[in-house]
Amino acid sequence: MAKQAELKAKGISDVITYCVNDGAVMKAWAADQKVEDSMITMLGDPSSEVTKALGLVLDHPGPMSVLGNDRCKRFSMFIDDGIIKNINVAEAEDDPAGDANPSATLVEQMLLDIPDAGTGGDSDSTPKPDKVSDPAAFVADSITAAKVVVFSKSY
């Protein structure tokens, strides 16, 4: 949230953060991070459907020996009018979870990757579907009608 004004200045309408967790965990995390009424939406991907579709499953034996089931690689993505314009993945041969150096996936890098407002898609002021009652419609609407940043963590 510290960079919310800078993201908005670049034309970003929504920031979606998701993990391979259930909605209750993500709701608690959102409450802990105090993101209610901000541009940040935190969603769960409990069956890894989004993670698998993106080809970002973290299934390396090292992290999995601690985490148990497959997770999502740490990444950030810039989506403009439904098109992935940039994706950054934090991983290295000796650090498959990207924990030692997540800098490629942090908001500071995304601010460098996102073109200035007016050089890409336009933000839409049309009301979005409710992110609580219909998160799938919210995400679909967000990524097809605006500039969006998506973040994921491996745990």
Query: Is residue 44 a contact partner of residue 21, using CB atoms and an 8 Å limit?
Result: yes
- H and E: helices and strands count for the chain: 6, 7
What span, in angstroms and rounded, lies between the C-alpha atoms of 106 and 130? 27
What are the boundaries of each domain within the chain? 4-152
> In the block, which residue shows the tokens 């890894």?
48
Kindly tell me if the per-residue pLDDT of 120 is higher than 50: no
Overall average pLDDT of the 134-140 stretch? 61
The stretch 114-140 carries a mean pLDDT of 59
DSSP state of 85: E
Q: Please, are residues 16 and 142 in contact by the beta-carbon 8 Å criterion?
A: yes
Please enumerate in sequence order all residues whose Cβ is within 8 A of that of 106, keeping only pairs 6 or more positions apart, or say none.
Answer: 76
d(CA 60, CA 147): 32
Answer yes or no: is pLDDT of 109 > 50: yes
- Model confidence pLDDT, tens digit, residues 36-94: 888 898 888 888 888 888 888 887 777 666 666 777 888 888 888 888 888 888 888 88
Mean pLDDT of all residues belonging to the chain: 78
Give the CATH fold of the 4-152 domain.
Glutaredoxin (3.40.30)
